[in-house]
Structure 1
Amino acid sequence: MKITIIGSGFSSLAASCYLAKAGCEVDVYEKNSTIGGRARQLKKNGFTFDIGPTWYWMPDVFEKFFNDFDKKASDYYLLEKLSPAYKVFFNENDSIEIADNLKSIVSTFESIEKGSGKKLESFIEEAKTNYDIAIKDLVYRPGDSIVELITPQTALRVTQFFSTISKTVKSKFKDFRLQQILEFPVLFLGAKPSNTPGFYNFMNYADFGLGTWHPKGGMYKVVEAMESLAKELGVKFHVDANVEKINIENNTVVGIQVNGKTIQTDVILSGADYHFTETLLEKPYRQYSEKYWDKKTFAPSSLLFYVGFDKKIKNVNHHTLFFDAPFEQHAIEIYDTKQWPQNPLFYASFPSKTDDSCAPADFEAGIFLIPLAIDLEDTPEIREKYFNKIIERFEKLTNQSVKENIIFKESFCVNDFKKEYNSYKGNAYGLANILTQTAFLRPKIKSKKVANLYFTGQLTVPGPGVPPALISGKIASDKIIKTYK
């Protein structure tokens, strides 16, 4: 059976491997010149940056993927556990480092708020139970019906689906810094902590329990590993291959049009943006209207800067978060008022702190990210204004001057997400994981209107993030294999 996959992000790569292993003839079509979708690389003047994801969390999910092919992640790349995992700045004289083990993190909490150490231990214990329920079972379900979520374990936790992370955290911890550190991981799910079900505290176990890792050479090494595995299994990749149309006959997929050429196929799986993929169909074959998409709560977009410094940067870790601005206000500007933030929180990554291959000797590679509302006006002037805003704060908070040490900087924002990835309204992470957009309430993996058309990736189940993308690829491929084998 001939299967055509549109896009080559993590979900497409995962699906291509599973489908090829099942004996299908698999071709992957990528509009850009390199494989990886949003997980691409920028190489410049001896510096290497991950353009997309920079956090390697949930190593067990990656391991499970490779194990499914009798491989290990270490067959392809070297992983290093970051110690400390990351650092959070609250103001000039106030920063907290998160260690690489729970015992030390408990001590840190206790030193900041008396009694919080014991509370953290029980909070993480519950988070681990939720992680085991979610990541080892629930997230691998196809999102077909509410019944998938009803298990003996979830029945005992029903109240957690109707409470929020924010409420849970604030009821246990009083120090605002500890609250923000515990609320931060759900930002990976693309929603406000005040809108995210309490059950999702499993992300806190991913953070404090499993730790933060770095693949030597950067996240793109994972893309290269999956591409290599796919090729071993017989998958064919086509780059600079822009899919312009999905051809339908008798309500069934028959092929695609790529760069003006028609290619026949039996099944199409799209890992490209779900909304964009439906625009490749004539209107009667689209499942979801423009009104449907417009009403959805999307995860943020981002303004990113990739900066080469001609010196080592002090007082920062590989991953450093800057929470010296009001958390709630920035969240409101992303999700509610949908405007450029007045005083944004931001994140910086310095991979060359861990990995010599990311920058020339004695130099530093810096990645800066500001979460933003989707579909904002995006101009070079606005980007420059925000770079100056955060770099001034960065200098003040880390007590050093760095502006004069910038060799170059590149940026990536809303317009680039639209142009490079056909991303709906320039979103960076897909649909937010709020209660009304969880599991069976997300756009479906299998088209209800067109036979042999399937979807995978961050706009369908299970949701945003790299590990969920791998899982999405498995769910979609399982569905296809069960239908046709």
Structure 2
Amino acid sequence: MPQKKAVIIGAGVAGIATAIRLAVKGYAVEVYESNSYPGGKLSEFEQDGYRFDAGPSLFTMPQYVDELFKLAGKSPADYFGYQKLDIVCNYFYDDGTRLSAYADTEKFAREIESKTGEPAKNVISHLAKSSDIYSITNHVFLERSLHRLKTYLRWDTLLSIVRFPKIDPFRTMHKANSSGFKDARVVQFFNRYATYNGSDPYQAPATLNVIPHLEHHFGAYFPHDGMYSITKSLVKLAEELGVKFNYNYKADEIVVINNAAKGIRAKGQNILADVVVSNMDIWFTYQRLLGKYPKLHPQKILNQERSSSALIFYWGVKKQFPELDLHNIFFSADYKAEFEHIWKHQDIYRDPTVYLNISSKYKTDDAPAGCENWFVMINVPANNGQDWDKLIADARKNIVYKLSKILGEEISALIVSESILDPRSIESKTSSYKGSIYGTSSNNQFAAFLRHANKSSKVKGLYFCGGSVHPGGGIPLCLLSAKITADLIS
């Protein structure tokens, strides 16, 4: 029997993982990537002696990476190494409060109590509820397709349905957190997890309170060679399994004949395949690759609200700050106003919450001696035609002022190298519609069910993976989308 061929559009982490899984299944796999490098958002660059991971900077659920090597009969340690963080993140508040989010739950709860007065038992209780939400939703919402009847006929799914009220879908995250904690700083701390999938805690369902469990139970990690080593190690594994990567090779069209995907068209030629998997943002998949077939377009899904985007400054800083760690958060003094600006006004609040990642804290050669590589990010709206040049200039000034005030140092004088990524360049580099990082937002209580399926219901042999489809964005969910997609391909 001749070997079946699969073509994957896009070498993002989900596309690479899908390629590995299909290669293990015996498919001949080719990946077509429009950029000159793999990884999509999970990429890197060097500038003026500083190395930066360009995109995702938080690494959780490493078991989903390890699983790919084990699936191929390989030892993960031969390809990829990482260490667990004792401190997940440092938090800085406008009133001078400083918190360290320890990986150890008891230690973290005591830290909260000592710095804010919030009883440690409230933190322990909240994390227990987070664990309950995970146990109810994990096997149903994250690890299986929501668009197959057999998912709902399983015994564990039926048990989850019975426990459905416990996932707290009918309150907003903010309302749930406000009822669980007395101190506004602790409420703000747990509200922040809505940003992990580009959503608004004042709109998003309290079900998203599952996210703290991923950090405080499974932990946060740092790859020894930086975040981009995830991409490099998976590409190496894929190539060893026979996967062929074609870079600078833009797919122009998915070839559909008699309602079946027969391959792609690229560089003026048809590339035939038995299976086509798009790792491109679902909006661009339909508008660009299936533009000739408007009747196939799921307009309700394509018209859904997009997730937030990001504005990132990559700064080479000629000083080291011992009070900073790998992950650092500088909170806005008015969190509600910040999200109103993002979602209602579609602009940037004058006092944004700032995320600062410094990989040179753990990988010292990422910056020259005595220096640090600062990945400085704020949440911003998706691109809807705003005057980004003005927004960026104002945001930079406000960020520098905020960091200088809290750290007691004039930061602008220390910046010796700078590069910027904004919603426009996120869209152009990664084909993420409007620069939204996570596809559609999760501000709707039924968002998990409204995401696009991993398999086309109208075109035989056409599948989808990545952050814009089920189960969502972020490295762990993208890897799970690959698993779901590969399982759907028989």
Match of 2:91 among 88, 91, 98: 88
- Please tell me the residue identity of whatever aligns with 1:240: N
Map of 2:224 onto structure 1? 216
Residue 379 of structure 1 and its aligned partner are, at CA, apart by 4.0
> Structure 2 matches for 1:188-227, cutoff 5 A?
188-227=196-235
Which shifted more, 454-463 or 443-452?
Answer: 443-452
1:106 to 78, 102, 109: 109
| Equivalent residue number for residue 315 of structure 1 | 323
Q: Name 1:433's counterpart in structure 2.
A: 442
Post-superposition CA distance 1:225-269 (Å, at most 9, x none): 111111121111011111111222222222212233321222110
The change in CA–CA distance for 1:133 and 1:156 in structure 2 (over 3 A counts) is closer
The whole-number CA distance in structure 2 between the counterparts of 1:246 and 1:334 is 35
Q: Which moved more, 1:403-412 or 1:84-93?
A: 84-93
The equivalent residue for 1:49 is 52
Q: Is the 8 A contact 2:97 2:115 kept in 1?
A: no
Alignment of 1:456 with 2:465, yes or no, is: yes
Asked whether the 8 Å contact 2:383–2:423 carries over to 1, the reply is yes
The residue aligned with 1:272 is 280
- The aligned counterpart of 2:239 is 231
**1:388 equivalent among 391, 397, 400:** 397
Q: 1:292 offset after TM fit, Å?
A: 4.6
What do the CA deviations read for 1:253-299 (whole angstroms, capped 9, x no partner)? 222122333212221100011110112114435533556523x1221
Matches within 5 A, 1:2-401: 2-91=5-94, 93-114=96-117, 116-144=119-147, 148=151, 150-159=157-166, 160-279=168-287, 280-284=289-293, 287-288=296-297, 292-294=301-303, 296-376=304-384, 377-401=386-410
Write out per-residue CA displacement over residues 193-232 of structure 1, whole angstroms, 9 at most, x where no aligned residue: 2333333322111122222211022110001111111112
Counterpart code for 2:162: A
Give the match's secondary structure for 1:459: coil
356 and 80 in structure 1: CA distance in 2 versus 1, 3 angstrom threshold: same
2:301·2:452 contact (CA, 8 Å) conserved in 1?
no
Q: TM-score, normalised by structure 1?
A: 0.93
Give the letter aligned to residue 151 of structure 1. L
SS in 2 for 1:336: helix
Letter of the 1:189 counterpart: N
Judge conservation of contact 1:146–1:440 (CA < 8 Å) in 2: no
1:458 to partner: Cα distance: 1.3
Structure 2 unaligned regions, length at least 5? none
The structure 1 residue matched to 2:484, chosen from 469, 475, 482, is: 475
Mapped to 2, the partners of 1:195 and 1:68 lie a distance apart of 39
State the shift of 1:120 in Å: 1.6
Alignment match, 1:444 = 453
Change (3 A) 1:158 1:3: same
Residues 36-56 of structure 1: CA deviation (Å, up to 9, x unaligned): 011110112221111110001
Supply the AA of the counterpart residue of 1:134. Answer: T
State the percentage of identical aligned residues: 28
Paired with 1:289 and 1:339, the residues of 2 have a C-alpha distance of 29
Tell me, yes or no, if the aligned pair for 2:197 and 2:441 is still in contact at 8 Å: yes
- CA root-mean-square deviation: 2.1
Cα displacement (A) at 1:187: 1.4
Q: CA deviation at 1:72?
A: 4.7
Q: Judging changes above 3 Å, is the alpha-carbon distance between structure 1 residues 148 and 168 closer, same or farther for their aligned structure 2 residues? A: farther
> Partners in 2 of 1:147 and 1:21 — Cα distance?
24
Q: CA deviation at 1:27?
A: 0.3
Residue 432 of structure 1 aligns to which amino acid in structure 2?
S
Contact 1:314–1:400 (CA under 8 A) maintained in structure 2: no
User: Deviation string for 1:333-372 (max 9, x for gaps)?
Assistant: 2223322333322211111112113112211100011111
Further displaced range: 333-342 or 376-385: 376-385
Cα separation, 2, equivalents of 1:196 and 1:145: 25
Deviates more, 1:47-56 or 1:77-86: 77-86
Distance 1:167 1:199 in 2: 12
Aligned amino acid, residue 106 of structure 1: A
Cα 1:81/1:292, change in 2 over 3 Å? closer
Distance 1:154 1:120, change over 3 A: farther
* 1:404 alignment counterpart: 413
Query: How big is the shift at 1:437?
Result: 4.6
Note closer, same or farther for the CA distance 1:144–1:291 as it changes in structure 2 (3 Å cut): closer
The normalised TM-score by structure 2 is 0.92
Q: Is the 8 A contact 1:6 1:30 kept in 2?
A: yes
In 2 relative to 1, CA 146–167 (structure 1 residues): closer, same or farther, beyond 3 Å? Answer: farther
Residue ranges of structure 1 left out of the alignment (5+ in a row) = none
Q: Is the 8 A contact 1:432 1:463 kept in 2?
A: no
Any conservation in 2 of the 1:161–1:435 contact (CA below 8 Å)? no
Query: Which residue identity is paired with 1:301?
Result: S
Write out per-residue CA displacement over residues 102-122 of structure 1, whole angstroms, 9 at most, x where no aligned residue. Answer: 111111122245562112212
